[in-house]
Amino acid sequence: MCSIWQTNDSDRLLGRRLFVCKLRDLGLGVAALGGLAGTPAVQAQDAARVMTRLIQAGNSQGGAVDPRLKDIEKELRRLFRFSSYKLIAQKNVSLSQGSTQTLKLNPQFVLVLNLKSQSASQSTMSVQLQWNRRAIINTTARLNKGANLILGGPPDGAGGAWMLALKTY
């Protein structure tokens, strides 16, 4: 990119020219990076990354909350009267537009995800939650990046309930 010009001048002059040459190369490099970062190919996201967490909520002594649920603990405590929240399973998947993934979270719960559309900040997906081989919820939701969707209700037989947390990131 940069050729050294022929010169018979002193080393100082040559050094100055090399410095200017490096400056020029640096400027071109920065411009190239800027152009690259601004291109739609880099900004666009064709796939959605989804975090799925199966949570068992109950009223056990101590009221412990799994530290891996720290990001939603405050909201869970505000909305529900359960004292403990235990993370039973977590699976992270990457969905491309139009694709479907079936996740078996534990022997009781199966989740079927289908990504309908995807942009840089939003994902629209259809979700089916199966409990004991029965579909209990069919829903389509538009999730902004970082938002959580809780699908819950099935009792755990011990006074608690199951809930599934979906989050795109």
Which positions lie near another protein, rule CB under 8 A? 9, 13, 16-17, 20, 30-31, 34, 37-38, 57, 72, 75-76, 78-82, 121, 124, 131-132, 134-157, 160-161
**Minimum gap (Å) between residue 131 Cβ and another protein:** 7
Task: Tell me the β-bridge partners of 134.
Answer: 131
- Least Å distance, CB 149 to another protein, is 5
The smaller minimum CB distance to another protein, of residues 101 and 128, is found at 128
Torsion of CA 90, 95, 99, 104, to 10 degrees: -10
What is the smallest separation between the CB atom of 82 and another protein, expressed in angstroms? 7
Q: Could you give the CA distance from residue 86 to residue 68 in angstroms, rounded to a whole number?
A: 9
Return the number of the residue (74 or 104) whose C-beta is nearest another protein.
74
Nearer to another protein (CB atom), residue 9 or residue 67? 9
Structure tokens at 147: 């938002």
Alpha-helical runs (H) found in 39-141: 40-43, 70-79
Give whichever of 65 and 76 is closer to another protein, judged by the CB atom: 76
Residue among 45, 22, 66, 117 nearest 126 (CA): 117
Closest to 169 measured CA to CA, from 152, 139, 148, 142: 148
Q: Which is nearer to another protein, 89 or 141 (CB)?
A: 141
Instruction: Provide, rounded to whole angstroms, the least separation between the CB of residue 74 and another protein.
Output: 9
Tokens of 68: 């891996």
Minimum distance of another protein from residue 122's CB (angstroms): 8
